Structure 1
């Protein structure tokens, strides 16, 4: 975090000088605003990042031809921020505008086109529109296969993304195949302890975990942790991620004390390494809450879920799907505690958000209706339960 602040200070000083020395719409000012935005984005301060990226775009639109590649980059950067904020329709619009410009400005198999298709695929994936995501990712891979050497890292990224979609679709053998192809390329293209390898082992571990092959999942996650311990400082956020992943496997195996210990180790690192309201802290509190929930310690679970929600309400837009998930989990704890009115209120808030944020046939809407019906059933209001199903 400290390095980002130093970089931000330097970029802001550079902007001050350029404002004095250059005309108000000089392209170098656009570059300065872009650099400042990148730092805010990395710090998770998305509204500030968006403001700076938009100022950069304003200057670029005045100073450059309408289909200049730099404008495509600006739209792409704005899309990334909206993507991080969970405003997927806005992200998609920006990414598609970027793609339109690149199609006009660049050769048909230019790598930047692959980047655009990749970004669009990522948004569709996050929206749960996996067939559209897969189509975009595969178009991206086609271009990269033509434009890049056979073991270029971007190909590994493409296989990795395709693996993630297959994983979300429950097609685990295809997911595993894509992730392993990604790992093969990264092993050739990168040094043996490169962070990308840890990400790859993490993803393979996740698939094995979903398949219920917990020993293989642990092996992959532990390999990832080994690399992280070699290349990273002791309180680096990636170590927290590794501990978190291993904890999830123990949680799935019902070894709750081991899971809780590792989740708490992960949280301790993230508290040191990250700003106090960083989304990863919300994830950490959420995971700790799930363990307490599984152990039947509902008051502790509720406390951790509520802390997670507090952070998410600060960093996310008011109708982000993750908020709906948090309200759902809090509702389930209240349901288990027999506090049905509070449970119903939380599930209904979850449903409100999902109606706004998600496509009308998204599976999470069905989960919300099911949870509401379950509470009504526990309250003995069976007609209301039936109407909710």
Structure 2
């Protein structure tokens, strides 16, 4: 395969743009997976979205890629029907390194940045890339693509991939069929569609249980996912039951420091956290972290999850500063390796914001909540339950800052968003309405 050209249009913070503008001949590394297109017109449309926005510069990247030079994996997504009509997308792995060749004003207030590929010899980045390749590396090409989309937080794209795989899989291939149902269940879980997720998991579990022991590893995944679902439904008894089933299978089939065992310990910790048994939860989280530290690169996203959960448990045990330190470790890793609009970054922003709110630092809390809100509003498919909670939290901060007009506005947005949720929570909905009515009395 010879050299080729791809494009990417986006808005950049003015300071970030000036750093590139003043770095002609220098290197530029994208911290997360990089989505590009071979279609210039598509990239231009993305660039034009940021024209005129305060504090941002609209840019068009034109990237010359030489496969003989770069060791960074990339993949064309054109063979999946979901993308073919969209962007003719080329996806590059995280921390792809390019040289800045030229920066010049293009047209319509858009700047064009010419880049070309170079070798990346960063050992830590290489380790992380190879680790994530191994995690996604089993199964068919389409299955691997679906797993990658889930990792990137591109849940709607993942759903399209697995729907395509379902169409292509013969009905008699029960093992693959069950795996697809499990993955679709997880996607519905991430979308907040818990009833539909439950249906998919039930289908997968029934098939896999009939085919044991050949399906044990896949069955453990289904049990684990069912445990997560029941945790979110506040059914901690069933959650613990299914996580223990997953743990039993994995202990029999995996090494003592296998990442799936660590993940199971983490999930059991989540159940105890939900039960407010924080010290027990913390002990499971620490077992998780110990294994992850042994086997994963130090910038792996799963380490961020472990640090976050440890931090939340510590905060619940009134160890606020220690907990905040671990939350910040989680934030640093996620911002380093995940796309800037990944929902996991929004989640950690809210957690950090809550710590600052509890300590009375309302301005800092507001900053983190706003960052979370910006990510949630830009999601391809909005999670209205999460969005409503963020609006509610911002309204509380604005109330503390005595900005009552804005507090009422955000409180009303919380109520409106909650009504759009596919998984309505009556307790939260009442809390949002009470908050809105209480704040109105202050006007």
Q: TM-score, structure 1 length as denominator?
A: 0.70
Higher helix fraction: Structure 1 or Structure 2?
1
**Contact 1:4/1:39 (CA < 8 Å) preserved in 2?**
yes
- The answer (yes or no) to whether the contact 1:95–1:120 under 8 Å persists in 2 is yes
Say what the alpha-carbon RMSD is for the aligned residues. Answer: 4.1
Once residues 348 and 29 of structure 1 are traced to their aligned partners in structure 2, the CA distance between those partners, rounded to angstroms, is: 42
Aligned to 1:363: 425
- Is residue 221 from structure 1 mapped to residue 295 from structure 2 by the alignment? no
**Structure 2: stretches of 5+ with no match in the other structure:** 1-29, 39-64, 68-76, 96-139
3-state SS, counterpart of residue 182 of structure 2: helix
Q: Which has the higher contact order (CA 8 A, sep 6+)?
A: 2
**Does the 8 Å contact 2:32/2:93 carry over to 1?**
no
- Measured after TM superposition, the shift of residue 5 of structure 1 is 6.1
Contact 2:345 2:372 in 1 (8 A): yes
Q: 1:206, CA displacement in angstroms?
A: 0.5
Indicate if the aligned counterparts of 2:31 and 2:337 stay in contact, CA closer than 8 A.
Answer: no
- In structure 2, the CA distance between the partners of 1:93 and 1:264, relative to structure 1 (3 Å rule), is closer
| Preserved CA contact (<8 Å) 2:31 2:336 | no
1:177 correspondence with 2:241: yes
Does residue 167 of structure 1 match 2:228? no
Structure 1 gaps, min length 5 = 15-27, 44-69, 383-389
Q: Distance in 2 between matches of 1:272 and 1:126?
A: 22
Give the structure 2 partner of residue 333 of structure 1. Answer: 397
Deviating more after overlay: 258-267 vs 139-148: 139-148
2:147 and 2:281 map into 1 onto residues whose CA distance is: 36
Q: How many residues align?
A: 329
Listed one character per residue, the Cα deviations across residues 107-142 of structure 1 (whole Å, up to 9, x for unaligned) are 1x6112212322332344345453443232122011
Q: Does the 8 Å contact 1:320/1:353 carry over to 2?
A: no
- CA distance change for structure 1 residues 40 and 186 in 2, over 3 Å: closer, same or farther? farther
Q: Give the aligned partner of residue 130 of structure 1.
A: 194
Change (3 A) 1:134 1:313: closer
- Alpha-carbon distance between aligned partners in 1 of 2:147 and 2:335, rounded to the nearest angstrom: 28
Q: Tell me the distance in 1 between the aligned counterparts of 2:31 and 2:437.
A: 50
Aligned positions of 1:212-361 closer than 5 A: 212-314=276-378, 316-317=379-380, 319-321=382-384, 322-356=386-420, 358-359=421-422
TM-score by length of 2: 0.63
Rounded Cα–Cα distance in structure 2 between residues aligned with 1:338 and 1:318 = 33
Would the alpha carbon gap of residues 121 and 232 (structure 1) be closer, same or farther in structure 2, given more than 3 Å must change? closer
Give the match's secondary structure for 2:441: coil
Change (3 A) 1:106 1:192: same
CA contact (8 A) 1:319 1:354 kept: no
The answer to whether the 8 Å contact 1:79/1:92 transfers is no
